[in-house]
Structure 1
């Protein structure tokens, strides 16, 4: 059925549920897993004024360092969970991309046949204002997506 699952995580409690569900499925199927964590681009528009380039440069370096540290922490936890479940897994951290775009590109590049991700299930104005990476993945993918709430 499914042989290679892409499990997306942002490190949140909700995403942890998606990781657990994805690992349980992979374990039952004998599938391989690729975990992905995506760091969005640094919001340069937030800086203004004559010193913006210098201030943003310092903040950009701090942002990238913290994002890398956070991604390693999240992905190390996922890999440890996979090892405990006897699931073959690798981890990928993608920087400077929108999560949905990165998930779609990686799923194709890795030949994944199922994407597993969590969704808050927001509706109406909340979804409009906050966006939905899950909805975007669902709209543009050509492979099945397991959405966990």
Structure 2
């Protein structure tokens, strides 16, 4: 049924339910797996709302390095879990993007035929401001999206 599954994760406990389900589905179908994590631009959801604040070159380099370390902290355990299940995966870090567009672009770029993700990752005010990233993926995806709670 599925030949290449994209599994987005932010490393949260909730996202782990999506990872576990996606890996189980991949094992069941013998599908390839790409796991993606996305890190936002400096300033998060407000990064492009104003030109009032910008990082200098050194601050930007430090921020990018920290985001790469954070992404690896998310991706390395998923790779280990997949290895224990006998599943080879490819991992991708997409920096400086909002999650939903980056997930959709990654699914297209890597020719995935399904996305498996948790129901939501943000809570509180950030969810109100940004809306649900999962809902945005569901609304705009051209491939099946399996949402796990």
Q: Give the TM-score of the pair, scaled to structure 1.
A: 0.85
- 1:60 deviates by 2.7
**Structure 2 segments unaligned to the other structure (5+ residues):** none
User: What does residue 24 of structure 1 align with?
Assistant: 24
Larger Rg: 1
Unaligned ranges ≥5, structure 1: none
Match of 1:39 in 2: 39
Q: Deviations over 1:72-101 (max 9, x none)?
A: 121111111111111121100011111111
Q: Does 1:132 align with 2:128?
A: no
**RMSD value over aligned CA atoms?**
2.5
3-state SS of paired residue (2:5): strand
CA contact (8 A) 1:38 1:98 kept: yes
**What's the secondary structure of 1:62's corresponding residue?**
helix
Q: CA 1:47–1:90 in structure 2 vs 1: closer, same or farther (change >3 Å)?
A: same
Q: CA deviation at 1:57?
A: 4.2
TM-score calculated relative to the size of structure 2: 0.85
Q: Provide the C-alpha distance between the structure 2 equivalents of 1:38 and 1:146, rounded to a whole number of angstroms.
A: 19
1:118 counterpart residue number: 118
